[in-house]
C-alpha cells in the first residue's frame, strides 16, 4: 500500500505572489509529491501550503520549499497579524495513509537536520517530535515571536534542536514536528447560535466548567452563518481514529432531536483521509445491514448519510486526499488498457513478462469467481442464497484487488538485482556489498511471485463454496475462473523456480520450494474440484 504523508508548512509571506509562487513551484518540481492547496492571507501576511507524497519525497519537497522561502523572505521587513517566528514558521508532518506518527516524527527530524546543517537556520521540534515538556506546544516555542528570538536563543534552555544557536535576522527560526491529521467539520442545525453552542458544549472534550463533554479529541463551538441561514456546530477533530466525523455527526443528531431541532447535513472544511470516510461507511453499513463492497459506492453512502453536499457539492476527487493523488504512476501496467497491455507484452522487451501475466491471469480468476457471486446475489430465483453470497463475494473481490498490484510488482521485482549487478566490484568491500545486494534482489524476485501464489491459494476455499452455491447458469464462467487461478499459480511457480538457483541461502530455498510445490499441487486439486462440483450440479 502506498505511504502518504501530508506536510502543511506556513511561510511569513501572504502578499507577494512571486514569492508564494516560487515556493509552490519548488514543491511541484519534486517527483512523488502533489501540491494540494495554497492559501495566502494578506492581513496575516502568511501563506499555508498543503502537499502530500511518500515520506522521502515529502521531506525533500519541504527542504527545497524552505530553501526557496529563506532566500526570498526577509524577516527584518515582515509584519502581520498572525504569531510567527521565522520566514518558514512551522512545518508539521501529518500521517495520512499507511504511515504512523513515529514515521512522521522521523520525517520532521530528517527535515530539521538538513535545514540546520545545510541552510544554517535554527530549528525547534514540537508536539510528538519533542521530548522537552517546556518546548512541546507551538505556543510555548513561539512565545515572544520573531522579535523575542534574539533575546532567548542564546539561553541554554533555548538551544535549538538543529542548526546554530544564534539569531539569524533574515530567516528567524523554524519549528517542525508531527501532529495527527486534523479534520475541520461543521454540522448544520436549523436553530439558533445558542442552541448550536449548547450542543457543542455537550460533545466537545472540554465540555463546560463543571463537567467534561462526551467526545474525546474534539474541540467545538456553535455559531450562526448568515450566508447559509442556519446555525452550525463547528468542530475540530484532533484525531479521527478516536472520534471520527460520523460519530460527531450522530451525537449532534441525538442532542438536536432531544431539543426538537432538525439537523440538515454537514460540511467538511478542507480535505479528509480516505480512511475516515471508509470508517463512516462501515458504521452505516453495519447499522443498516447493507451489502456494499465497491469503494466508490461506500463513499456515496457516506456523502448521503452525513449530508456532505448540503452546503456545496462534495466531490470525492477533490476532497479525499488519496483520490487527489495520481495513482497511475504507482501502477503503470495495471492502469493500461487491455489492448496496450497485450501489445506491450508482445513487444521486443523482457518486461512485462510471464510474472506480470501470471498475476493478471490469477486476478481474472478471482474476478470471475466474484462475478458469479454477483450473478447470484439479488436474483429472485436465488434469494435464499443472499446471505451466503454476502460472505463469498467480498472474499473473492478482495483477492482480486490484492492481485492487481502484483502485475506491476512482478515487473519491478527484478530491478534491485539489476541495479546491484551494475555496482562496482574493484575491491573486496565493493564485491561484498554488491553480492549482498544481488542476493537481496533475487529474494525480492522470488518473494513477489510467491505472494501471487499465496494470495491465489487463499481463494480456493471461496471458489469451491461458489461452485456449490452460485448461479449454475454461470457454470462456464466459474470454470474459466478456476482454470485461470490455477494457471496464474503455475506461472508464478515458474518465476519462483527460475530465480531460486542464484540464491545461496539453502534453507530459504528449501522452504520456499516446499511451500511452492504444495500450493501448485493444491491448485491442481482444487481447480479439478471446482469443475467436478459444477458438473455434478447438472446431473
Q: Are 235 and 187 in contact (CB under 8 A)?
A: yes
Q: Is domain 4-178 classified as CATH 3.40.1350.10?
A: no
Roughly what angle, to the nearest 10 degrees, separates helices 55-72 and 17-28?
150
Tell me, what's the pLDDT at 538?
A: 85
- Alpha-carbon torsion angle 74, 79, 85, 88, nearest 10: -50
SS (H, E, C) 438-500: HHHHHHHHHHHHHHHHHHHHCCHHHHHHHHHHCCHHHHHHHHHHHHHHHHHHHHHHHHHHHHH
Chain segment 430-459, per-residue pLDDT in tens:
888 888 888 888 888 899 999 999 999 999
Distance CA 294, CA 255 (A): 33
Show Cβ contacts of residue 236 under 8 Å, excluding neighbours closer than 6 positions: 182, 183, 184, 185, 218, 219, 220
User: Buried b / exposed e across 2-36, counting CB within 10 Å, b at 16+?
Assistant: ebbbbbbbbbbbbeeeebbeebbebbeebebbbbb
- Provide, rounded to the nearest whole percent, the portion of the chain with pLDDT above 70: 98
Q: Is the dihedral of CA 230, 233, 238, 242 positive or negative?
A: negative
Average of pLDDT values for 381-400?
Answer: 93
Distance CA 292, CA 239 (A): 26
Average of pLDDT values for 295-310?
Answer: 97
Number of Cβ within a 10 Å radius of residue 48: 18
Q: Is domain 183-324 classified as CATH 3.40.50.720?
A: no
Domains in the chain: boundaries: 4-178, 183-324, 338-538
Average of pLDDT values for 385-389?
Answer: 92
Burial tier of 219 (Cβ tally within 10 Å: 0-12, 13-18, 19+): middle
Retrieve residue 293's grid coordinates.
463492497
C-alpha 305, offset from chain centre: 23
Residue 304's H or E segment, with its range, is helix 295-306
Chain segment 502-518, per-residue pLDDT in tens:
888 899 999 999 999 99
Q: What is the mean pLDDT of the chain?
A: 92
- Alpha-carbon torsion angle 131, 132, 134, 136, nearest 10: -30
Residue 421, classed as helix, strand or coil, is helix
Show Cβ contacts of residue 156 under 8 Å, excluding neighbours closer than 6 positions: none
Cβ-defined contacts of 254-257 (< 8 Å, 24+): 255/198, 255/199, 255/202, 255/203, 256/189, 256/191, 256/199
Beta bridge partners of 231: 189, 224
Distance CA 410, CA 351 (A): 9
Average of pLDDT values for 480-493?
Answer: 97
Fold equal for 4-178 and 338-538: no
Tell me, what's the pLDDT at 270?
A: 81
Tell me, what's the pLDDT at 395?
A: 97
Tell me, what's the pLDDT at 322?
A: 87
Tell me, what's the pLDDT at 329?
A: 53
Distance CA 234, CA 188 (A): 9
Q: Are 126 and 32 in contact (CB under 8 A)?
A: no
Residue-wise DSSP of 165-224: SS--TTTB-EEEEE-PPPEEEEEEEES-HHHHHHHHHHHSTT--SSS--SSTTEEEEEEE
Tell me, what's the pLDDT at 427?
A: 87
| pLDDT at residue 334 tops 80 | yes
Tell me, what's the pLDDT at 72?
A: 96
- Which DSSP category does 501 fall into? G
C-alpha 16, offset from chain centre: 33
Q: Which residues are catalytic?
A: 82, 410
CATH, range 338-538: 1.20.120.680
| pLDDT at residue 261 tops 90 | yes
Burial tier of 353 (Cβ tally within 10 Å: 0-12, 13-18, 19+): middle
- The alpha-carbon radius of gyration of the chain (Å, integer) is 28
Retrieve residue 292's grid coordinates.
456494499
Chain segment 117-161, per-residue pLDDT in tens:
999 999 999 989 999 988 988 889 988 888 899 889 999 999 999
Nearest to 504 by CA among 416, 442, 454: 442
Tell me, what's the pLDDT at 198?
A: 96
Tell me, what's the pLDDT at 326?
A: 62
**For residue 40, what are the CA distances in angstroms to 22, 219, 324?**
13, 25, 21
Amino acid at each position: 500500500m502506498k505511504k502518504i504523508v501530508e506536510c502543511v508548512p506556513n511561510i511569513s509571506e501572504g502578499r507577494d505572489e512571486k514569492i508564494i509562487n516560487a515556493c509552490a513551484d519548488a514543491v511541484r518540481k519534486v517527483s512523488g509529491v502533489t501540491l494540494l492547496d495554497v492559501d495566502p492571507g494578506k492581513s496575516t501576511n502568511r501563506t499555508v501550503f498543503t502537499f502530500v507524497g511518500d515520506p522521502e519525497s515529502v521531506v525533500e519537497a519541504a527542504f527545497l520549499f524552505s530553501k526557496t522561502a529563506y532566500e526570498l523572505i526577509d524577516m527584518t521587513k515582515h509584519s502581520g497579524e498572525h504569531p510567527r517566528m521565522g520566514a518558514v514558521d512551522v512545518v508539521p508532518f501529518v500521517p495520512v495513509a499507511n504511515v504512523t506518527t513515529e514515521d512522521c516524527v522521523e520525517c520532521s527530524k530528517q527535515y530539521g537536520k538538513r535545514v540546520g546543517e545545510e541552510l544554517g537556520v535554527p530549528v525547534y521540534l514540537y508536539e510528538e517530535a519533542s521530548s522537552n515538556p517546556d518546548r512541546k506546544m507551538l505556543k510555548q516555542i513561539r512565545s515572544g515571536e520573531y522579535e523575542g528570538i534574539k533575546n532567548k536563543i542564546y539561553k541554554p534552555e533555548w538551544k535549538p534542536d538543529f542548526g546554530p544557536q544564534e539569531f539569524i535576522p533574515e530567516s528567524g527560526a523554524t519549528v517542525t514536528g508531527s501532529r495527527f491529521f486534523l479534520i475541520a467539520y461543521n454540522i448544520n442545525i436549523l436553530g439558533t447560535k445558542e442552541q448550536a453552542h449548547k450542543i457543542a458544549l455537550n460533545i466537545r472534550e472540554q465540555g463546560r466548567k463543571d463537567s467534561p463533554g462526551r467526545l474525546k479529541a474534539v474541540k467545538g463551538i456553535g455559531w450562526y452563518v448568515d450566508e447559509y441561514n442556519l446555525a452550525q456546530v463547528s468542530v475540530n477533530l484532533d484525531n479521527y481514529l478516536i472520534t471520527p466525523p460520523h460519530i460527531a455527526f450522530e451525537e449532534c443528531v441525538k442532542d438536536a432531536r432531544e431539543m426538537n431541532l432538525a439537523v440538515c447535513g454537514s460540511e467538511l472544511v478542507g480535505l479528509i483521509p480516505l480512511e475516515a470516510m471508509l470508517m463512516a461507511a462501515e458504521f452505516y453499513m453495519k447499522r443498516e445491514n447493507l451489502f456494499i463492497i465497491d469503494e466508490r459506492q461506500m463513499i456515496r453512502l457516506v456523502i448521503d448519510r452525513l449530508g456532505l453536499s448540503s452546503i456545496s457539492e462534495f466531490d470525492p476527487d477533490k476532497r479525499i486526499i488519496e483520490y487527489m493523488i495520481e495513482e497511475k504512476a504507482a501502477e503503470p501496467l495495471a492502469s493500461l488498457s487491455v489492448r496496450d497491455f497485450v501489445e506491450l507484452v508482445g513487444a521486443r522487451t523482457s518486461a512485462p513478462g510471464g510474472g506480470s501475466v501470471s498475476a493478471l491471469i490469477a486476478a481474472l480468476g478471482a474476478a470471475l469467481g466474484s462475478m458469479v457471486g454477483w450473478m447470484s446475489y439479488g436474483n429472485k430465483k436465488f434469494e435464499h442464497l443472499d446471505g451466503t453470497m454476502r460472505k463469498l463475494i467480498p472474499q473473492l473481490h478482495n483477492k482480486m484487488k490484492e492481485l492487481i498490484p502484483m502485475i506491476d510488482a512482478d515487473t519491478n521485482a527484478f530491478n534491485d538485482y539489476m541495479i546491484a549487478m551494475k555496482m562496482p566490484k574493484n575491491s573486496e568491500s565493493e564485491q561484498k556489498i554488491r553480492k549482498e545486494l544481488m542476493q537481496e534482489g533475487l529474494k525480492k524476485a522470488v518473494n513477489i511471485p510467491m505472494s501471487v501464489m499465496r494470495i491465489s491459494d487463499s481463494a480456493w476455499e471461496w471458489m469451491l463454496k461458489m461452485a456449490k452455491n452460485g448461479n449454475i447458469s454461470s457454470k462456464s464462467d466459474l470454470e474459466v475462473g478456476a482454470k485461470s487461478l490455477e494457471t496464474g499459480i503455475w506461472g508464478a511457480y515458474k518465476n519462483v523456480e527460475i530465480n531460486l538457483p542464484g540464491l545461496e541461502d539453502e534453507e530459504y530455498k528449501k522452504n520456499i520450494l516446499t511451500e511452492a510445490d504444495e500450493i501448485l499441487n493444491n491448485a491442481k486439486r482444487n481447480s479439478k474440484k471446482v469443475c467436478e462440483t459444477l458438473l455434478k450440479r447438472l446431473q
